[in-house]
Chain A
Amino acid sequence: PPAHSHSDWIGPPDKHSNLRPIIFYVPPEESALERRLREARQEAQASNQRFWARHNRAFRQEKEEFIYSRLKAKGLEMRDESGQKATLNAEEMADFYKDFLSKNLKKHLQYNRDWYKHNFRITFLMGQVALMRALRWLRRRKKNVEQ
């Protein structure tokens, strides 16, 4: 993002976590409340990134292992004559999906709780900051009118 910009910038989805990273703008006179908001957002972003990057990686890895083991059981190679990567069809993959979901359910429940907490906190802080900025703007206008 350009150096003179006064707003946050959001980027393309991350390759591993599929989440879009945000670069937060730090205004020169950032109030304590605004700093708390920014830090909360950064923390949530980092935590989400960690979770999903690890989770998606695990998914891909386990999927590869599953395909490999199934193909081996069938006596096939990973690549056929034309060099194309051999894949299993959806019905064969269904066992893997079921297994993966049940294995990770507890992890997801914990993550859900954390995510909801982050989300509510950030939104609430955003509300407070918005209110504070509105009051500040009104006060400034009043001062301009009086002068």
Chain B
Amino acid sequence: GLFVWRLRNAGVRQIPYRFVHLYHIANNRLITFQYFNFLKRMYVTQYNKDLSQQAKPKSNSIVSPFHELQRLDQEKKVVHKISPVSPVHQSWSEMSSRNELRDMKSAAETEDSVIPAGAGSKEDRQWKEMKLRLDDLPGILARLSKIKLTALVVSTASAGFAMAPVPFELTCFLLASLGTGLASCAANSINQFFEVPFDSNMNRTKNRPLVRGQISPLLAVCFAASCGVPGIALLTLGVNPLTGALGAFNIFLYTCCYTPLKRMSIANTWVGAVVGAIPPIMGWTAATGSLDAGALLLGGILYSWQFPHFNALSWGLREDYSRGGYCMMSVTHPGLCRRVALRHCLALIGLSTVAPVLNITTWTFPVISLPINLYISYLGFRFYRDADRSSSRKLFFCSLWHLPMLLLVMFTCKKSVLEKEDKGDLPGRSRERATEIRLP
């Protein structure tokens, strides 16, 4: 979904395995701690990488005088000549073909295990054969489908499923999660397929598989189709047609609306927020089979959350967006960017209060969630007022733990199914009963 082009792989190999482990038991509260740490680690490494890469271009920038246009063609020729001369490359070309293969493999492996540090890595400077290796394929496809982001999307869908006021059904839950995951993989792959030259030019995204030529565009499209079609079919036939339709619509919205719109108008952020709001709605409809007010509320919470999250993140990426030609509020309408972020932080408070009114949670939910909502609103206000990198970073990092925590609190305050039958209960007693009945 929406997180897609914002969240990226940290590039550490071990994470995908932990991740698979994580979303199999997504409903279990015990994993939350791992989930936080994982999120923090992924985002911190990623964001730090971005920040450190921000520093790099400044030192790399050409120190030449202003009027260099005429000299450029000569410069280019020189540039192309220089790269083959590097000693690593020379020794490379002298090796036998078998050694080449072995070296390339180890090069690929070291690339994968080290957090891609951008221009610094030596492996990056070598010429690589454009041949697909089967053992690299899982890693490549994981990066193509933005597997970590997909897992986060699946977990928001599970949250939607969990919050639905129906008895928990394991098969339905698993089918819905799998279908959502496949749909997300498909959408992410198509997004990368569309954005190759732009990704090459942005620090955050320049190590993607299509950019590096590790996979052909044809294969990327085939992979997307082979994930998307079964995913949507699974949702439509295995869960219910409504969920399938929502999944298909979300793929369409993300690939055909959001991706092109990013380069045309700032409206892309709102479209992207809808893309992020749909997975929990899908989770809910998977469980109940209908679009209730509860689904829309959950969607609304995710929708509002996207703004502080994304606007804060985009504040630090203004140079890359400007050069890459992306129309983002942080570049073109900075005031609006901060206002919208603050507005939606406050909206979260409002939405949390509506939850018990719709009988989704008890009244303890707005009370318990108030501190975290107030905190993020406070950071949103600081961002609005200060408009600097440190406040944007604080807001961004807060949004990372805020959402899982909010969903968790919501789940613990969920009104149980049985309790709805007699509405005369006091809040205290109802919570006890909720604790007993909730988990299957």
Contacts and interface: CB of A to CB of B under 8 A. Distances in A.
Interface string A1-22: 1101101111111111111111
A101 interface: yes
B125 interface: yes
A12 to B, nearest CB: 5
Contacts, number: 140
Main secondary structure of the interface of A (DSSP, over half): helix
B216 interface: yes
Contacts of B217: 119, 122-123, 126
Interface in A104-135: 104-105, 108-109, 111-112, 115-116, 119, 122-123, 126-127, 130
B388 A130 contact: no
Contacts of A13: 124, 200, 206
Nearest to B264: A109
B387 interface: yes
Interface string B17-39: 00000000000000000000000
A108 B332 contact: no
Given A22-B130, A126-B217, A56 B323 contact: yes
A20 B323 contact: no
A96 B318 CA distance: 10
Nearest to A126: B218
B76 A16 contact: yes
B321 A20 contact: no
A14 to B, nearest CB: 7
Contact of A127 (B218, B326, B389): B218
A97 interface: yes
Contacts of A68: 66
Contact of A12 (B83, B201, B316, B326): B83
- Give the size category of B's interface with A: 35 or more
B196 interface: yes
B334 A94 contact: yes
B331 A101 contact: yes
Contacts of B318: 90, 93-94, 97
B235 to A, nearest CB: 26
Interface stretch (B57-65, B158-166, B236-244): B57-65
Contacts of A100: 322-323
A108 to B, nearest CB: 4
B69 A57 contact: yes
B98 interface: no
Nearest to A67: B61
Interface string B110-127: 000000000000001111
Given A87-B58, A115-B197, A130-B218, A65 B66 contact: yes
Interface residues of A, number: 60
Interface string B181-201: 000000000000110110011
A97 B331 contact: yes
Interface string B123-150: 0111111110000000000000000000
B281 to A, nearest CB: 30
Given A100-B323, A101-B332, A22 B213 contact: yes
B94 to A, nearest CB: 10
Contacts of A144: none
Contacts of B131: 7
A61 interface: yes
Interface of A: 1-2, 4-5, 7-23, 48, 52-53, 55-57, 59-61, 63-65, 68, 85, 87, 90-91, 93-94, 96-98, 100-102, 104-105, 108-109, 111-112, 115-116, 119, 122-123, 126-127, 130
24 contacts: A2-B100, A9-B129, A12-B127, A13-B200, A16-B79, A20-B212, A55-B323, A56-B201, A56-B323, A60-B62, A64-B61, A68-B66, A90-B388, A94-B334, A97-B318, A97-B319, A98-B334, A101-B325, A101-B326, A108-B263, A112-B264, A116-B194, A123-B217, A127-B218
Given A87-B58, A93-B318, 17 more contacts: A7-B130, A8-B129, A10-B130, A11-B83, A12-B126, A13-B206, A19-B200, A60-B61, A61-B68, A64-B61, A90-B388, A91-B388, A100-B323, A101-B325, A109-B264, A119-B217, A122-B217
